[in-house]
Amino acid sequence: MNADLDLRKLRYFVAVADALNFGRAAETLMIAQPVLSRQIRALEDELGVQLFLRDTRGTQLTAIGRQLRDDADALLATATAVRRRVAVAARGAAVFTVGFMPG
């Protein structure tokens, strides 16, 4: 089992979890459906779990899939915030200090 969580695959997972349809999720992500299916299968393999129940009636989240969906927004928001802070630091954001003297 790989200890790293691929954020791209996590975003793909969220799209499928929200749509509960691989074709619609692929359209939203603007990627081919077979590519999306392979990425979700790879994520499941990396995590060692089944995230979706797939059958002729559709796609449903497993209990583990629901747990990951509950956690995914916070994970993705944290990753976005880190990326933003790094970008600001890379631009050499100026430090602005305000001081005052009593009286």
Query: Per the confidence metrics, is the pTM higher than 0.85?
Result: no
- Joined together, the tokens standing for residue 36 give 């999306």
Grade residue 93 by pLDDT with cuts at 50, 70 and 90: low
Quote the crossing angle between the two packed helices 33-47 and 7-19, to the nearest 10°.
Answer: 110
**Cα 45-30-17 angle, rounded to 5 deg:** 45
Q: Evaluate whether 18 touches 29 at the Cβ level (below 8 Å).
A: no
Going from the C-alpha of 59 to that of each of 24, 25, 32, 80, 95, the distances in angstroms are 12, 12, 17, 28, 50
pLDDT 10s digits, 59-74? 999 999 999 999 999 9
7-90 maps to which CATH number?
1.10.10.10
